[in-house]
């Protein structure tokens, strides 16, 4: 690790948290609210697999800090109470994707600290017999151990040249596939290995998504709001208009049927959307749309998109909290 990073993590960020400099940083912004985003919370440290999950103990430290320093409110409250004349800044917590650990590990802690939360769930979770993992997790797992064996599939899909020029960026290339490309990839992959069996060789805490039954339980908690994260984790900016409409409406339908409540919010996988997608989502009936700022091609400050700050799971609590305070300026809402 770079020396500057070590000093920042061990000296500067603990100092800014302890002395209250953090609050001065967020108070410099006129924005009063911030939506923050996690993926999952795991019992064990799972950063060897992906940076998506935060370990339970660290998450509890986050919650204690957030509770002490902000008004932790629901997304509804954050969006609907305007103008705000609050002495403290407001934070709304959200989670993406629909991991089972949202129910088993994250929810009990959120209930313990009475912190409202919105889970943006992939619609496939609401089906009676869903696949138990999402496509990006399969890719992450393949990238870790099967790249060499899969080389012929890249040739088949004319991907080899693209991969060579992007080094090892298999994950982001395949994640951005259209529906037809993904289907072809899955068919070719199945001639080589059984994806379900392959995923079962990895700790399920990392990839297991909610089932209809566990999603119902999650939605029953009075601190929980459920939103849509699309149906099967396609990047909306990369798929056809027809496929976008299907992802938007099918996820809404399936989730609503499963939990018996209306779904008003949608959060785009990887913050990937286009102007057309925004219009389609409005037509389907979403009242609010959310994105994270992960690609400069997808500006987040458009009036129809509420941006979110991604909380890192690979750094210290004090670093995360400093970045949350700083995020009010760029990512916050009035």
Asked if 277 contacts 313 with a C-beta cutoff of 8 angstroms, the reply is no
- d(C-alpha 291, C-alpha 235), whole Å: 12
Q: 89-118 mask for Zn ion (x: CB under 5 A)?
A: -------xx---------------------
Residue 97 or 205: which CB sits closer to Zn ion?
Answer: 97
CB-based contacts of 29, cutoff 8 Å, min separation 6: 328, 329, 332
Asked if 228 contacts 100 with a C-beta cutoff of 8 angstroms, the reply is no
Stretch that binds Zn ion, among 88-96, 280-288, 291-299, 304-312 (CB under 5 A): 88-96
Asked if 59 contacts 46 with a C-beta cutoff of 8 angstroms, the reply is no
Residue 134 or 327: which CB sits closer to Zn ion?
Answer: 134
Residue 96 or 247: which CB sits closer to Zn ion?
Answer: 96
What are 42's two structure tokens?
């795991």
Residues 236-265 that bind Zn ion (CB under 5 A): none
Residues 122-151 that bind Zn ion (CB under 5 A): none
Question: How near is the Cβ of 318 to Zn ion at its closest, in Å?
Answer: 26
Alpha carbons within 13 A on the beta-carbon side of 30: 2
Question: How near is the Cβ of 151 to Zn ion at its closest, in Å?
Answer: 27
What are 139's two structure tokens?
């890719």
The residue count for binding Zn ion (CB under 5 A) is: 3
Which residue's entry shows tokens 């080094």? 167
Residues 266-325 that bind Zn ion (CB under 5 A): 269
Alpha carbons within 13 A on the beta-carbon side of 259: 29
Question: How near is the Cβ of 6 to Zn ion at its closest, in Å?
Answer: 31
Residue 185 or 290: which CB sits closer to Zn ion?
Answer: 290
Instruction: Return residues touching Zn ion (CB under 5 A).
Output: 96-97, 269
């Amino acid at each position: 690790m770079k020396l500057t990073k070590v000093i920042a993590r061990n000296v500067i960020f603990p100092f800014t948290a302890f002395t209250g400099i953090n609050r001065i940083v967020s108070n410099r912004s006129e924005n009063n609210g911030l939506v923050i985003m996690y993926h999952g919370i795991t019992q064990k440290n799972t950063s060897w697999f992906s940076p998506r999950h935060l370990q339970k103990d660290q998450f509890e430290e986050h919650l204690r800090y957030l509770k002490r320093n902000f008004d932790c409110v629901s997304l509804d409250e954050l969006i609907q109470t305007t103008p705000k004349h609050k002495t403290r800044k407001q934070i709304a917590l959200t989670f993406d994707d629909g991991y089972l650990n949202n129910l088993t590990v994250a929810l009990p802690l959120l209930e313990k600290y009475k912190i409202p939360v919105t889970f943006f769930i992939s619609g496939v979770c609401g089906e009676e017999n869903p696949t138990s993992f999402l496509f990006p997790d399969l890719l992450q797992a393949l990238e870790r151990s099967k790249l060499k064996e899969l080389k012929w599939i890249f040739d088949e899909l004319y991907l080899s040249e693209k991969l060579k020029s992007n080094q090892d960026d298999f994950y982001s290339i395949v994640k951005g596939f259209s529906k037809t490309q993904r289907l072809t990839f899955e068919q070719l992959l199945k001639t080589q290995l059984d994806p379900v069996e392959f995923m079962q060789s990895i700790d399920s805490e990392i990839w297991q998504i909610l089932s209809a039954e566990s999603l119902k339980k999650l939605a029953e908690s009075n601190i929980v709001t459920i939103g849509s994260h699309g149906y099967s984790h396609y990047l909306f900016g990369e798929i056809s208009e027809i496929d976008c409409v299907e992802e938007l409406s099918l996820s809404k339908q399936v989730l609503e049927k499963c939990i018996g409540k209306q779904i008003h919010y949608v959060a785009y996988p990887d913050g990937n959307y286009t102007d057309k997608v925004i219009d389609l989502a409005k037509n389907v009936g979403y009242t609010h749309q959310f994105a994270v700022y992960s690609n400069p091609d997808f500006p987040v400050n458009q009036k129809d998109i509420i941006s979110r700050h991604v909380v890192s799971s690979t750094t210290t609590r004090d670093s995360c909290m400093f970045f949350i305070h700083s995020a009010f300026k760029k990512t916050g809402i009035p």
